């Protein structure tokens, strides 16, 4: 691998990159066309001011001595990956009662470190579905301002939930009066929470429609919020131009959320065949985190995950994978969402192999994390494929991920918005 000009060396950084080189030529690599599912052999990609401006077999005649040329021979180039469900401020070694010792500033500092890990893993865009104190909004702003390295962040701010529900804080006894900032009960109260989240910078709304695995005292199958409350959340968010993601494991909660018009159902663990069909007909995305169960059941106890949570995961883990397979067979829109933060950040790429094992082809799994998530995020005009006019979010691996999707577990080259953050090609 050859890098020419000092400008190229300047952007290879673990901190925020230096000013963009005027133009960068990624020369001679194999480019994956994610829409057609085919490899374009020995293809040049020309980047200018953070956008892709040319894709052709030979663009060397278009560059000057002042431009940067990076030899990509032998590598496969893909669009930057995306994850529709992460928690950047969360840590995989801090669960259950351990979370009570973590302050808001400390979790934000963890978010800084986790954002860089996520970017270096090849994930250039993420949707952060819930963070205390709008810490994810602060991360987004710091990344956008070039203060810290990280992916493009779509923040949800504080997750909305019922009193005592999955999005509440249920670890302390009554006398502490501990309650999460997103708790609201009743249609007008939940509308107020949506408005508050938007006021403080949220770009997507997340609410909890059923109990959850990791929350104390909730049942996975129990619906949280009535149809009237869910409809109020969705209506208010859509009025304000935001999409809505619902945490939902249980069948009733999923069905009610689909009726309310949510844009994505997170987890979807016990979705019925009827629910899958509604999702297909409505175009609702199912974001099913089918890797994380292995982490919870193998390392969760050491990380402080409560015994009741481990029991719940044993009930739901395999069922979720079977429902994922059914959703794929039915033609539902599948988002690539992993719940990073429950497991270790930077391992987001491990889910690709699970998606293939449970019914997808490699190109289908890759599409979920590229053009699929781009559609869900409302960013199809900016990200999701290597195409002229799109943001220069480009990753590369030394092998061919269509032959072995596990190549995406160890990304060798990461460019975001035309700046190179990782280049280990040929090592």
- Tens of pLDDT, residue by residue, the chain (427 residues): 444 443 444 445 444 454 445 799 999 999 999 999 999 999 999 999 999 999 999 998 888 999 999 999 999 999 999 999 999 999 999 999 999 999 999 999 999 999 999 999 999 999 999 999 999 999 999 999 999 999 999 999 999 999 999 999 999 999 999 999 999 999 999 999 999 999 999 999 999 999 999 999 999 999 999 999 999 999 999 999 999 999 999 999 999 999 999 999 999 999 999 999 999 999 999 999 999 999 999 999 999 999 999 999 999 999 999 999 999 999 999 999 999 999 999 999 999 999 999 999 999 999 999 999 999 999 999 999 999 999 999 999 999 999 999 999 999 999 999 999 999 997 7
Q: Which fold has domain 81-377?
A: TIM Barrel (3.20.20)
Q: Say how far apart CA 280 and CA 399 lie, in whole Å.
A: 34
CATH number of the 3-79+384-423 domain: 2.30.40.10
Cα radius of gyration (the chain): 21
Q: pLDDT tens across 319-328, in order? A: 999 999 999 9
Count CB-CB contacts under 10 A for residue 205: 30
Count CB-CB contacts under 10 A for residue 150: 28
SS (H, E, C) the chain: CCEECHHHHHHCCCCCCCCCCCEEEEEEEEEEECCCCEEEEEEEEEEECCEEEEEECCCHHHCCCCCEEEECCCCEEEECEEEEEECCCCCCCCCHHHHHHCCHHHHHHHHHHHHHHHHHCCEEEEEECCCHHHHHHHHHHHHHCCCCCCCEEEECCCCEECCCCCCCCCCCCHHHCCCCCCECCCHHHHHHHHHHHHHCCCCEEEEECECCCCCCCCCCCCECCCHHHHHHHHHHHHHCCCEEEEEECCHHHHHHHHHHCCCEEEECCCCCHHHHHHHHHHCCEEECCCCHHHHHHHHCCCCCCCHHHHHHHHHHHHHHHHHHHHHHHHCCEEECCCCECCECCCCHHHHHHHHHHCCCCHHHHHHHHHHHHHHHHCCCCCCCCCCCCCECCEEEECCCCCCCHHHHHCCCEEEECCEEEEECCCC
Tokens of 248: 């939902």
Helix axes 227-239, 251-260, angle to 10 degrees: 40
Q: pLDDT tens across 160-190, in order? A: 999 999 999 999 999 999 999 999 999 999 9
Any idea which residue has 């804080």 for tokens? 169
Tokens of 287: 């974001």
pLDDT at 21: 54
Residues 6+ apart with CB under 8 A from 14: 116, 120, 149, 421
Q: Say how far apart CA 316 and CA 350 lie, in whole Å.
A: 20
Q: Say how far apart CA 161 and CA 224 lie, in whole Å.
A: 8
Any idea which residue has 């090849």 for tokens? 122
Query: pTM of the prediction?
Result: 0.94
Residues of the chain with CATH 3.20.20.140: 81-377
| CA distance to 61, 181, 227, 393, per residue, from 188 (Å) | 62, 16, 13, 40
At 425, phi and psi to the nearest 5? -65, 140
- Looking at the DSSP assignment, which residues form a beta bridge with residue 23? 48
pLDDT at 392: 98
Residues of the chain with CATH 2.30.40.10: 3-79+384-423
| CA distance to 142, 145, 146, 246, per residue, from 19 (Å) | 16, 12, 10, 39
Count CB-CB contacts under 10 A for residue 98: 14
Count CB-CB contacts under 10 A for residue 38: 12
pLDDT at 2: 45
């Amino acid at each position: 691998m050859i890098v020419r000009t000092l400008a190229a060396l300047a952007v290879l950084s673990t901190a925020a990159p230096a000013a963009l080189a005027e133009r960068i030529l990624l020369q001679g690599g194999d480019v994956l066309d994610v829409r057609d599912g085919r490899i374009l052999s020995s293809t040049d990609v020309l980047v200018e001011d953070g956008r892709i401006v040319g894709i052709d077999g030979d663009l060397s005649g278009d560059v000057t001595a002042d431009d940067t040329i990076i030899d990509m021979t032998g590598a496969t180039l893909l669009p930057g990956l995306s994850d529709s469900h992460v928690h950047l401020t969360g840590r995989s070694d801090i669960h259950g009662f351990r979370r009570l010792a973590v302050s808001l500033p400390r979790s934000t500092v963890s978010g800084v470190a986790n954002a860089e890990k996520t970017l270096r893993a090849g994930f250039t865009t993420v949707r952060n579905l819930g963070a205390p104190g709008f810490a994810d909004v602060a991360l987004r702003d710091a990344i956008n301002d070039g203060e810290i390295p990280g992916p493009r962040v779509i923040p949800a701010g504080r997750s909305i939930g019922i009193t005592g529900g999955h999005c509440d804080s249920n670890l302390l006894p009554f006398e502490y009066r501990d309650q999460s900032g997103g708790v609201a009960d009743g249609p007008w109260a939940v509308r107020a929470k949506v408005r508050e989240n938007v006021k403080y910078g949220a770009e997507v709304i997340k609410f909890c429609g059923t109990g959850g695995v990791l929350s104390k005292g909730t049942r996975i199958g129990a619906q949280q919020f009535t149809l009237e409350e869910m409809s109020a959340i969705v209506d208010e968010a859509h009025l304000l131009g935001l999409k809505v993601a619902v945490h939902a494991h249980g069948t009733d909660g999923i069905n009610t959320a689909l009726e309310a018009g949510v844009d994505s159902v997170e987890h979807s663990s016990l979705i019925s065949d009827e629910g899958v069909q509604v999702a297909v007909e409505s175009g609702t995305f199912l974001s099913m985190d089918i890797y994380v169960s292995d982490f919870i059941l193998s390392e969760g106890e050491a990380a402080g995950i409560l015994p009741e949570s481990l029991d719940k995961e044993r009930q739901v883990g395999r069922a979720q994978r079977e429902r994922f397979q059914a959703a794929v067979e039915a033609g539902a829109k599948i988002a690539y969402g992993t719940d990073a933060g429950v497991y270790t950040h930077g391992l987001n790429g491990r889910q690709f192999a699970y998606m293939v094992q449970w019914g997808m082809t490699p190109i289908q799994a890759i599409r979920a994390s590229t053009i699929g998530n781009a559609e869900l995020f409302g960013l199809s005009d900016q990200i999701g494929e290597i195409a002229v006019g799109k943001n220069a979010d480009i990753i590369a691996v030394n092998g061919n991920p269509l032959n072995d999707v596990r190549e995406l577990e160890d990304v060798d080259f990461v460019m975001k918005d035309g700046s190179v953050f990782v280049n280990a090609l040929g090592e």
